[in-house]
Structure 1
């Protein structure tokens, strides 16, 4: 079944509807607003809710069974965006009905690649994050217990129980320091200094784990994308997995818009190019177009010759670039790849103009 109109509402439009709805919710909290304006904003919220209802229905209709699990977060957000305001209309008081539309804050996240990336990072790093969180809990409870023992007689209103002292421990661990609970005794102040330093270390661990997780996930995605691009080049299809890994590490993906000049005649070449998608035009007395699977600029790497022709993008073109430095490294680590490039380039030199 083909996608239906509302099931494919674009992410920007969904975010815009959510933003308009949230502005209306905020405006409805103004006490001196006229009834006419209040009614208009209520109708606007109802219209946005109706759009989300249609979107949810059509999404469920066109959703294939095997895609349900992958799309579950988006479907869950769509369901909440419809059911929470409806429940508020049916059961909440008149004054607070519109506030439940604030659930639409989640709408811009349903198609967010960042949220999906964040989810994968949290899943991959769950054990480490749970470990650091456990340390945070242990330090927090230990600090609250110590502060209770030291300060309970000095400040019974602030440290009269462990739950009260926990608030001070959380504020101190996060180095926020609201100033509503301040240790008075020397021992308690030493404790506060130790707790602050512990908090800095714990939050640094959290940040480091997340940063490493994001870096590894982005590298993993880049590697998969580059692997797919490299595997699409016919020149590399006869190579084994180990050689392909070397190529993936050496090649740099690049997208060039239609009409842009990729390299100019006479300039010193420092890289060659492989065409993954699109076409390029080689400006020679008899212009030549090269398409997917072709490569050009190889003589700059093999012989060090200047560019013999200007090459521009006839259409938007997806390229893989191999720099001279990487070619030399590749020649040392995987000589069979360099031999294939040299052999193919020399065979084609007399038949096809090269840049």
Structure 2
């Protein structure tokens, strides 16, 4: 099995194994389960463990024999998925052995890009998050201290010490409101209201910082990816960095599956396309195939004429699209860009079928 094929099926396969394993673990905690069903579920867990052991062995072999290294967090998760249940089998009582198979929850995350993104966001926003966490701790302890002073004589069984009121402060700050500890005095209820409002503000700040961090990280990643795509187009390779920045902001990447019609003859042309990877077929009396570095749709974009040919994806195609509005903006901000596109379009108008 090729590495590419394995990478495509490993994620859904791991998810299936995890779902089956968790179902078995949950079912094994049922007290009135039959002996036959218990044996079947335990056999299922053993089979999943054996599959993970085989995956670990293959990963270690690839690590030694191929130039492409597997990330250490992925190897660590594979090791934990095998070693933790194995250790539980030898050192934990039979009743709780299966519970340690819940470590398999980490398996679907081994190749997840989300957690890499989360790590970068937490690293970038560590200072702000630490500051808000400090504010949360200060407000929590202050609320616990105030509740102790106000309510200790009214409810000594629930507010008789600061450790007791710390629990109340956490529950109130998070606006959970279990109701097991409720201030009885007027001052205590005013304090509870202030603490709840403070909690809403603190959690809103946490959410805002994380949302902003995710947005900035995704935008930075997309900008780098789009920069690489734009730089791969020969038409833009001689332009300066500042001009490329304008193009990156204007061009929109798009992946088109093989066989998809990109534009049809007679349609209004509101955008042109640059091919980064793959090939497209231009349906003319003498069909033409365009590959990486080529572009099409420029005449319709510049002149406003209808599309003169139907263009479809001969293979999976990575495209960059430039809309008419963005073209005008680029032409105004960077006249050399518009001039390059117009000049190239005129030179190719007679020789290249137009779309």
CA distance in structure 1 between the aligned counterparts of 2:351 and 2:130, rounded to whole angstroms: 62
- CA drift at 1:7: 9.0
CA distance in structure 2 between the aligned counterparts of 1:101 and 1:343, rounded to whole angstroms: 65
1:311 aligned counterpart, secondary structure = strand
CA distance in structure 1 between the aligned counterparts of 2:4 and 2:328, rounded to whole angstroms: 52
Aligned residue-pair number: 353
| Structure-1 residue corresponding to 2:300 | 300
Q: Give per-residue Cα distances to partners, 1:278-328, cap 9 Å, x unaligned.
A: 211212222211111110111122222221222122222111100011011
Q: 1:4 to 1:342 in 2, by over 3 A?
A: closer
Q: Give per-residue Cα distances to partners, 1:44-65, cap 9 Å, x unaligned.
A: 1111112212222332332269
CA distance in structure 2 between the aligned counterparts of 1:251 and 1:192, rounded to whole angstroms: 53
| Structure-2 residue corresponding to 1:217 | 217
2:351 aligned counterpart, secondary structure = coil
CA distance in structure 1 between the aligned counterparts of 2:24 and 2:307, rounded to whole angstroms: 61
- CA drift at 1:76: 2.0
| Structure-1 residue corresponding to 2:331 | 331
Segments of 5+ residues of structure 2 without an aligned counterpart are none
Q: 1:5 to 1:90 in 2, by over 3 A?
A: farther
Please say if 1:226 is aligned against 2:226: yes
CA distance in structure 1 between the aligned counterparts of 2:7 and 2:49, rounded to whole angstroms: 14
| Structure-1 residue corresponding to 2:24 | 24
CA distance in structure 2 between the aligned counterparts of 1:135 and 1:67, rounded to whole angstroms: 45
Q: Is the 8 A contact 1:299 1:354 kept in 2?
A: yes
| Structure-2 residue corresponding to 1:108 | 108
| Structure-1 residue corresponding to 2:153 | 153
| Structure-1 residue corresponding to 2:76 | 76
TM-score by length of structure 1 reads 0.94
| Structure-2 residue corresponding to 1:200 | 200
| Structure-2 residue corresponding to 1:288 | 288
CA RMSD of aligned residues (A): 2.0
| Structure-2 residue corresponding to 1:121 | 121
Q: 1:4 to 1:232 in 2, by over 3 A?
A: closer
Q: 1:50-89 maps to which residues of 2 (within 5 A)?
A: 50-63=50-63, 71-89=71-89
CA distance in structure 2 between the aligned counterparts of 1:335 and 1:12, rounded to whole angstroms: 49
- CA drift at 1:66: 9.0
CA distance in structure 2 between the aligned counterparts of 1:143 and 1:50, rounded to whole angstroms: 52
Q: Give per-residue Cα distances to partners, 1:212-247, cap 9 Å, x unaligned.
A: 111111111111111111111111111122111111
Please say if 1:92 is aligned against 2:96: no
CA distance in structure 1 between the aligned counterparts of 2:101 and 2:259, rounded to whole angstroms: 47
| Structure-2 residue corresponding to 1:176 | 176
CA distance in structure 2 between the aligned counterparts of 1:206 and 1:108, rounded to whole angstroms: 27
CA distance in structure 2 between the aligned counterparts of 1:88 and 1:352, rounded to whole angstroms: 69
2:311 aligned counterpart, secondary structure = strand
| Structure-2 residue corresponding to 1:245 | 245
Range with greater deviation from structure 2 (180-189 or 308-317): 308-317
| Structure-1 residue corresponding to 2:10 | 10
Q: 1:124 to 1:75 in 2, by over 3 A?
A: same
Please say if 1:269 is aligned against 2:252: no
Q: Is the 8 A contact 1:125 1:209 kept in 2?
A: yes
- CA drift at 1:337: 1.3
